[in-house]
Amino acid sequence: MARSGREVLRRAFGRIAAAVLAVAVAGSATACAPSAASPSARAGDGSIALLLPDAKTARYETFDRPFFEARVAELGDYDVLYSNADQDAAKQQQQAESALAAGAGVLVLDAVDANAAVSIVRAANAKGVPVISYDRLISGGDLAYYISFDNEKVGVLQATEFVDAVEEAGGGGILMVNGSPTDSNAALFKAGAHSLIDASGLEVLAEYDTPDWSPDKAQEWVAGQIAQYGDEIVGVYAANDGTAGGAVAALKAANVDPFPVVTGQDAELTALQRIVTGDQHMTVYKAIKPQAELAAEVAVALLHGDEVTAPMEIDGVPTTLLDPVAVTVDNILETVVADGFWTVDDICTPQYADACEAAGIR
């Protein structure tokens, strides 16, 4: 398909995905959102534990936590017991135990390690405390709800843009910088990406599962591969924007030319700025606000003991999966800016003003 044809389809897909997302979230939120209630009407002590996995991924502190806390506050006078595990599964276990000991009536858990987190779910189950599996599915224990994105589709979106761009550049060898081996979503991103990359005939020179999603470890690994493969590297599949930043730093330090195609995920501000300058080809935008707000609504409903519903089930767990959207320099305005996720002023600081102007982002 010609590039212009792919662009028409991509723009159409973006509009359709946004519409589907709005309908799905509206329907799900209506099904489970409780009305605000007086403290006397609440179950337990009215507290909800929000347990997030790390601070290296910018989205958690910048978006997930504030969106979640703001929506809970809108629904009533509920306490949010917040903890960030800093990519330490043992620390997250302790944080969960502390929240349960403090009387949390619901746990909203984004697990550092999906396998290790089963013990958290079981401890909560033993106390009759429902657990919402947030963003990453915990395969074990009795989960009350699961909310995330279609994570295999994330990998498919990344690989679709990646393969097209690498082939347009003449093809060649690629590196794959995957996510953390303890993150259940990382396996889905990888599976989705491999489904297209393997079929494309591109040569995977080397592949790496990045411990803790660490940008530093990604940079170190990519630097080693550059030393081995040099200008054979035409593209770097990076599973998120943090690892993409590490890969780009290694490529720039080695003065790799022509600059390889690099992917990402999460629509971080620095990634969008790299996309504007041409250092990163794409990212994946996941509308975190509806995800966090729906999790808040479900949590408050469960705190009341209300029944919650969802559009689907995974492993018997009521589930809502939202749609991710691919973002390139061609549709930044139509996606992250149109949604209010970032503004043009956020992206186009003086350092990036000329690149934004050249890209028509104003």
Going from the N-terminus, what domains does the chain have, and what CATH number goes with each?
Answer: 3-150+287-323 (3.40.50.2300), 151-285+326-359 (3.40.50.2300)
Q: How far is CA 171 from CA 133, 234, 354, in A?
A: 40, 7, 30
Nearest to 138 by CA among 319, 322, 324: 319
pLDDT at 46: 79
CA pair distance 161, 213, nearest whole angstrom: 22
pLDDT at 84: 97
Q: How far is CA 238 from CA 159, 191, 283, in A?
A: 10, 13, 9
Residue length, the chain? 362
Supply the DSSP symbol for 212.
Answer: G
Maximum alpha-carbon separation in the chain = 67
Reading the block at residue 285, the tokens are: 């935008």
| HSE-up (13 A, CA, CB side) for residue 67 | 17
CA pair distance 225, 25, nearest whole angstrom: 42
pLDDT at 45: 56
Q: Which residue type is seen at 210?
A: T
Cβ atoms of 222 and 251 closer than 8 Å = yes
Strand partners, 67: none
Residues with Cβ within 8 Å of residue 33, at least 6 apart in sequence: 75, 297, 300, 301
Angle, CA 277 vertex, CA 276 and CA 278 arms, to 5°? 95
Supply the DSSP symbol for 165.
Answer: H
Provide the residue-wise pLDDT of the chain in tens; the chain has 362 residues: 333 333 333 333 343 333 333 333 334 433 444 433 333 333 345 799 999 999 888 899 999 999 999 999 999 999 999 999 999 999 999 999 999 999 999 999 999 999 999 999 999 999 999 999 999 999 888 999 999 999 999 999 999 999 999 999 999 999 999 999 999 999 999 999 999 999 999 999 999 999 999 999 999 999 999 999 999 999 999 999 999 999 999 999 999 999 999 999 999 999 999 999 999 999 999 999 999 999 999 999 999 999 999 999 999 999 999 999 999 999 999 999 999 999 999 999 999 999 999 999 98
